[in-house]
Amino acid sequence: MNQQAHAASHVIVPRSMYFTIFAALIVLTGLTTFVAFFDLGLANPIVALSIAVLKASLVVLFFMHMKYSSRLTWIIGGAAVFWLGILLVLILSDYAMRGWGG
């Protein structure tokens, strides 16, 4: 663990990697805005959110160096996503079952 943490603190990725990720993020931003003007039915929010998840993953993995981080950091990042999933899924299922609103 100490070895791993030591390695993680000294990881230096080539600067070109940041520009590659940046280019991908800009292309995806253009794509999501472009696609928004077409009627894809139910797929519109799915496509928009999938692109958002992909962009967020690129930022987390490369800009935030998660790819080069210790397993403990991965667990905390994973826990954040998992807990958010509990929040959203349980709230949505609760409201759906009760038939409130609408």
Partner 1 sequence: MPKHESSSALVPDENAAPASDPALRHHFDDLAQQHEAATLGMWLFLATEVMFFGGLFSAYMIYRVWYPGTWGDASRTLDITLGTVNTIVLITSSLTMALAVHAAATNERRKVMSFLVVTMVLGVAFLGIKSFEYYQKFAEHHVPGLDFRFEGQAPERANLFFSLYFAMTGLHALHMIIGLGILSVILYMAWRGRFTEAWHTPVEISGLYWHFVDIIWIFLFPLLYLVDRHR
In this structure, what are the phi and psi dihedrals at residue 70, rounded to the nearest 5 degrees? -70, 165
Total residues at the site for partner 1 (CB under 8 A)? 58
Nearest distance from C-beta of residue 52 to partner 1, angstroms: 5
Contacting partner 1 (CB under 8 A), which of 31, 36, 67, 93?
A: 36
Residue 22 touching partner 1 (CB under 8 A): yes
Residue 98 touching partner 1 (CB under 8 A): no
CB 89 within 8 Å of CB 55: no
Cα 23 to chain centroid, rounded:
17
Count of positions (residues) in the chain: 102
Residue 61 touching partner 1 (CB under 8 A): no
